[in-house]
Amino acid sequence: MRLIVTNIATLVCDCQRKQRLQGEEMARLDTIDDAYLLVEDGKVAAFGKMEELPAEGVNADEEVDARGCMVLPSWCDPHTHIVYAGSREGEFVDKIRGLSYAEIARRGGGILNSADLLHTLSEDELLEQSMVRVREVMAKGTGCVEIKSGYGLNTADELKMLRVVRRIKESVPMHVSATFLGAHAVGRNYTKPQYIELLINEMIPEVGREQLAEYIDVFCDEGFFTPDETARILEAGAKWGMKPKIHADELAASGGVKVAIDHGALSVDHLERITDAEIEMLRQSATIPTGLPGTSFFLNMPYAPLRKMIDAGCGVAIASDYNPGSTPSGDMKFAVSLACIKMRLLPAEAINAATLNAACAMGQSHNHGSIAVGKQANFYITARPIPSVDFIPYAYTTPIVGKAYIGGFRVE
Ligand code: NIG
Ligand code: FE
């Protein structure tokens, strides 16, 4: 199957072929004006100037005329909790009235509320509710996503969540990575030591045996799990080949960055309260700092200092954190706008953070995150001609996606 997209005003493509962009490299976006893009069997086969196309054509099965619109790589979203039950707008109102996210959690709401709701749903019902959001993000231009468990908080419900993730994986063209986040909070009816034993001796082995997760996450933060507890949980996951991706420094400087790096984490996420010493540690490591600007926006919290991290030479990613409590949105374009407006990233830096570096934060940048020959053909054609790439974060509520393609197939 060959698909050709012609008359692209500007194609944002990848000529550098790096797995991850660091520091100053993040401000570079390669573009070709008046371009075509050729897709073969779901992968990018070629791209270039329209004038380089052979006069006799390329014998494509389908031709799409971009009519002067722009083509960009699909978003990659390396941190979501998209599988969840119901919603938590009651807490949204509580927060407006003055309660903080941490206070709501201390009163037994928050994550535990979502766990109670999830417990009442069958696997099929949970899948149905989650698929609404999965379809929504694909239509908004996301082509690769990570999904965490963590609203089960007992063995049966954690497995239920991860089986739903597996069914999503099997039913959509988008790449889905699964992360076991049993250590999201202490489940009701357990003491913390009991819950950690359950995680290590029961949940992780069951998830491992069923091969339900590639990654393991811990909410390493004040009021949740300590660095020592995190280390024990990560070591148990490592025995089953689960690589860490960590929540850290959201509510306090938690020590999570060091434990993440020490355990070879792919990414460490949130980082709203990161210290300068931790930035230096990250600069020297392969662990990717991942900012979640939508979370700071929704919770009215400080934003992670991604500008400072890039200036220090780090390569950063951004993600939506789509979840019912702290970020009920999977809109990556809005996350990119927030990264520009609130974190002072240049549009090119924010787009790279939400595409190539985001793919890298889920171990997928060999195959995703940019329009490069041989990679999955995940891209979108803008809804109308736009003056420049910078227009995308600038027009922060204007829908950008006209036609989205994943693996060369049109997302309806
Ligand atoms: O990444 N901070 C921890 N976990 C989620 C929120 C979970 C929830 O409130 O339901 C987050 O923000
Ligand atoms: Fe999260």
Quick: pLDDT tens for 6-42: 999 999 999 889 999 999 999 999 999 999 999 999 9
Cβ(338)–Cβ(297) below 8 Å: yes
Residue from 77, 89, 111 to probe ligand 1 pocket by mutation (most atoms less than 8 Å from CB): 111
Q: Dump the DSSP string for 114-129.
A: HHHHHHTS-HHHHHHH
pLDDT of residue 246: 97
Q: Using CA atoms, how far apart are residues 350 and 318, in angstroms rounded to an integer?
A: 8
Contact by Cβ (8 Å): 74, 332:
no
Average pLDDT of the chain is 97
What is the DSSP code string of 228-288?
HHHHHHHHHHHTTTPEEEEEESSSS--SHHHHHHHTT-SEEEE-TT--HHHHHHHHTSSPE
Q: Which atom of ligand 1 is nearest to the CA of 269?
A: 1
3-state secondary structure of 172: coil
Q: In 3D, which of 11, 8, 9 has the Cα closest to residue 73?
A: 11
- The residue contributing the CA closest to ligand 1 atom 3 is 219
Ligand 1, residue 110: give the atom nearest the CA.
9
Nearest-ligand number for the alpha carbon of 102 = 1
Q: List the single range of 93-107, 138-152, 211-225, 376-390 with lowest mean pLDDT.
A: 93-107
Q: Give the ligand at the shortest distance from the Cα of 221.
A: 1
| 289 strand-pairing partners | 268
Ligand 1 pocket, 219 CB below 6 A?
yes
* % of the chain exceeding 90 in pLDDT: 95
pTM > 0.95: yes or no? yes
For residue 277, pLDDT over 80 is answered with yes
- The model's confidence at residue 56, banded by pLDDT at 50, 70 and 90, is confident
291 CB less than 6 Å from ligand 1? no
pLDDT range class, residue 261, cuts 50, 70, 90: very high
Query: Rounded CA gap, 257 and 272, in Å?
Result: 12
| 196-209 per-position pLDDT tens digit | 999 999 999 999 99
User: Cβ of 259: how many Cβ atoms within 10 Å?
Assistant: 25
User: What is the predicted pLDDT for the residue at 245?
Assistant: 98
Instruction: Please give the pLDDT value at position 242.
Output: 98
- Which atom of ligand 1 is nearest to 181's Cα? 4
Give the mean model confidence (pLDDT) for residues 358-374: 98
Dist. CA 323 → ligand 1 center (Å): 7
How far apart (Å, rounded) are the C-alpha atoms in residues 83 and 103?
24
Distance between CA atoms of 28 and 130, rounded to whole angstroms?
35
* Cα torsion through 378, 384, 389, 392, rounded to 10: -90
Which DSSP category does 303 fall into?
P
Q: Say which residues have a Cβ less than 8 Å from residue 211's Cβ, sequence separation at least 6.
A: none
- Determine the Cα–Cα distance for residues 207 and 321; give it in Å rounded to an integer: 22
The pLDDT of residue 55 is 78
Structure confidence at residue 412 as a pLDDT band (50, 70, 90):
confident
What is the average pLDDT across 374-395? 98
Model confidence at 175: pLDDT above 80: yes
* Ligand minimally distant from the alpha carbon of residue 116: 1
Please check the confidence at residue 144 and state whether its pLDDT lies above 90. yes
Residue 102 has pLDDT above 90, yes or no: no
187 CB within 6 A, ligand 1: no
Establish how many alpha carbons lie within 13 A of residue 34's alpha carbon, considering only the half-sphere containing its beta carbon: 5
The structure tokens listed for 373 are 């020959």
Tell me how far apart the alpha carbons of residues 103 and 85 are, in angstroms, rounded to a whole number.
22
Q: How far apart are CA 221 and CA 207, in angstroms?
A: 24
Indicate whether 57 pLDDT > 80.
Answer: no
Order of strands, sheet of 215-220, starting from the edge strand that comes earlier in the sequence: 75-77, 142-148, 175-183, 215-220, 243-248, 267-270, 288-291, 317-318
Residue 186: which H helix or E strand, with range? none
> Each residue of 316-352: pLDDT tens digit?
999 999 999 999 999 999 999 999 999 999 999 999 9
> Is residue 108 very low, low, confident or very high in pLDDT (cuts 50, 70, 90)?
confident
Does the C-beta of 324 come closer than 6 Å to ligand 1?
Answer: yes
Q: 10 Å Cβ neighbour count for 191?
A: 9
- The average pLDDT across 269-281 equals 97
Nearest residue by C-alpha to atom 1 in ligand 1? 321
Q: How far apart are alpha carbons 400 and 386 in whole angstroms?
A: 9
Residue nearest to atom 9 of ligand 1 (CA): 325
With a 6 Å cutoff on the Cβ, whether 91 touches ligand 1 is no
| Alpha helices, H only, 87-198 | 89-96, 101-106, 111-119, 123-139, 155-171, 192-198
Judge contact between 316 and 344, C-beta under 8 A: no
Of 76, 206, 199, residue with least CA distance to 137: 76
- Distance between Cα 79 and ligand 2 center (Å): 6
Ligand 1 site-directed mutation target among 250, 326, 327, most atoms within 8 Å of CB: 326
Ligand showing the shortest atom-to-Cα distance for residue 245: 2
- Does 111 contact ligand 1 (Cβ within 6 A)? yes
Q: Which residues on neighbouring strands pair with residue 246, listed in sequence order? A: 268
Q: Could you tell me where the beta strands, DSSP code E, fall in 273-400?
A: 288-291, 317-318, 379-382
Residue 296 has a pLDDT of 97
Atom 10 of ligand 1, nearest CA residue: 325
Q: Given this model, what pLDDT does residue 320 score?
A: 98
